[in-house]
Amino acid sequence: MLEKVLRDPVHGYIRVENEIIYQLINTAEFQRLRRIKQLGTSSFVFHGAEHSRFSHCLGVYHIAKTITDYFTEHGFIFWNPEENLVTQCAALLHDVGHGAYSHTFEGLFGTDHEAITREIILSELTEVGRILRQVSPDFPAQVASVISHDYPNPQVTALISSQIDADRMDYLLRDAYFTGAVYGNFDIMRILQFITPTEHGIAFRENGMHAVEDYLVSRYQMYQQVYFHPASRAVVVALKLLLKRAKDLFPENRAYFEATSPHLVPFFENASTLSDYLQLDDGVMAAYFQAWGASSDAILAELAQNVVNRHLLKSVKLADTTTDILSATHALIPNASYFSDVQNSFDLPYDDYNPETERTPIEILTADGKLTELSTLSPLVRALTGEKFGDSRFYFPKEMLQNTDFMTRMRDFT
């Protein structure tokens, strides 16, 4: 019997006991995740946050395996052990389509990491796809359907994507560990002790409710203190403006970009393939930014140097978002379209707990055998329910702080 043991700083030991899982870990597509940072730009703020999508995906697999093994060992009537492997494969591969600076890149070039994940899984040309077909011809489609939330068993989907799933449990603990944000910790062992499959998904027995509360509070605080940090968002803005300038320059400077950033050319042309996408990672992009820092185009060079050397734009919090903010400052900021932007945190791919808008609210299995939505039992969660948090910020060059007219105008928007 196969048994590989991987030492992990968050979970201690991760055990791989299935040949398919082990082969998937060793594919080129999955190994590429070593070169993609889990938190993207947050390492510019929290210097320890250098962990990768690779380690996160292993962690999600570990949690999913722990849960499915627990369900199987205890013989829960609503769990089919034959679905252990599809659940574990989906957990392992759920982020395999993430790219360099994923969400920033997606917004500018129109890519979708979830769609790319499914393409990697379904393709006959990828190592991942070929390995999954060893199980059965339709197994890749089964794994992909978990990612797209179309898998027929809602229990499997809920373990990978719900308000409290293997993905979120791992990234909260892992991100807290590597950023040093201790408020991101919660009692995962107690949560996993009281998780239970139900006819239509998963629930948590009442004795574990306070651990679930702790998880939700930790999640809320991580969003506030880490994921929405103004400086981290400033790097997102810097990357967006840099890539925008490169994209705008490309039509008249094709030879330059073919020489300095060849793997981006298909994206500038809106003609990229899966193979093109898989050529990009954080290291490749960083090398391109270094090259652009010596560009003869002064704007591209300055934007690239800002990213490489962490020269961040300043920001001011807006009382209300406004589409007029950029046009109102164009006359005061040189090349404003490349050196200022509004960053709205509500558009980031994170969400607070809100059972009215989520497909799968967290349910508690009470002592009398009834399923009850968590916020009806917990005053703490009820206080968080429906809370919309975050802010909108306007980013601008630091030197504008010395411009009296600019600062006067900014006060009109705050």
Query: Which of the pair, 410 or 257, is modelled with greater confidence?
Result: 257
Residues in the chain: 414
DSSP string of 123-170, one letter each residue: -SSSHHHHHHTTT-TTHHHHHHHHHTT--S-HHHHHHHSSSS-HHHHH
Cα–Cα distances in Å, from 226 out to 36, 142, 282, 373, 387?
Answer: 18, 35, 20, 28, 18
**Dist CA 410 CA 414 (whole Å):** 7
pLDDT digits (tens, 9 = 90+) for 294-325: 999 999 999 999 999 999 999 988 876 565 65
Lowest-pLDDT choice from 12-26, 198-212, 305-319, 320-334? 320-334
For the chain, percent of residues with pLDDT exceeding 70: 93
Lowest-pLDDT choice from 138-152, 266-280, 303-317, 389-403? 389-403
Please check whether the two domains, 4-228 and 229-310, share a CATH topology: no
Give me the pLDDT at residue 327, please.
67
pLDDT digits (tens, 9 = 90+) for 55-86: 999 999 999 999 999 999 999 989 999 999 99
Q: Give yes or no for residue 401 having a pLDDT over 60.
A: yes
Give me the pLDDT at residue 2, please.
85
Give me the pLDDT at residue 322, please.
60
pLDDT digits (tens, 9 = 90+) for 345-384: 753 322 334 545 555 788 999 999 999 988 889 888 877 7
105 CA to centre of own chain: 13
Query: Which of the pair, 412 or 164, is modelled with greater confidence?
Result: 164
Give me the pLDDT at residue 355, please.
47
Closest CA to 311 of 119, 44, 80, 77: 44
Closest CA to 292 of 228, 325, 338: 338
Q: Give yes or no for residue 156 having a pLDDT over 90.
A: yes
Query: Would you put residue 311 in left (φ > 0), alpha (ψ -120 to 50) or beta?
Result: beta
Give me the pLDDT at residue 353, please.
44
Give me the pLDDT at residue 387, please.
64
**Dist CA 307 CA 272 (whole Å):** 25
Determine the residue type at 208: G
Angle subtended by helix axes 84-93 and 139-147, to nearest 10: 60
Instruction: Find out whether 389 and 222 touch, Cβ atoms under 8 Å.
Output: no
Lowest-pLDDT choice from 5-14, 153-162, 170-179, 357-366? 357-366
CATH topology for 4-228? Hypothetical protein af1432 (1.10.3210)
Lowest-pLDDT choice from 167-176, 209-218, 279-288, 317-326? 317-326
DSSP string of 18-77, one letter each residue: -HHHHHHHTSHHHHGGGGSBSSGGGGGTSTT---BHHHHHHHHHHHHHHHHHHHHHHT-T
- Work out the pLDDT band at 330, boundaries 50, 70, 90: low
Tell me the mean pLDDT in the region 103-124. 92
Query: Which of the pair, 163 or 323, is modelled with greater confidence?
Result: 163
Give me the pLDDT at residue 294, please.
98
- Work out the pLDDT band at 205, boundaries 50, 70, 90: very high
- Positive or negative, the Cα torsion across 268, 273, 276, 281? positive
Q: Which CATH architecture has domain 229-310?
A: Up-down Bundle (1.20)
Give me the pLDDT at residue 323, please.
54
Q: Give yes or no for residue 188 having a pLDDT over 90.
A: yes
Listed by start position, the domains of the chain span: 4-228, 229-310
Lowest-pLDDT choice from 151-165, 185-199, 238-252, 319-333? 319-333
Lowest-pLDDT choice from 101-115, 148-162, 176-190, 232-246? 101-115
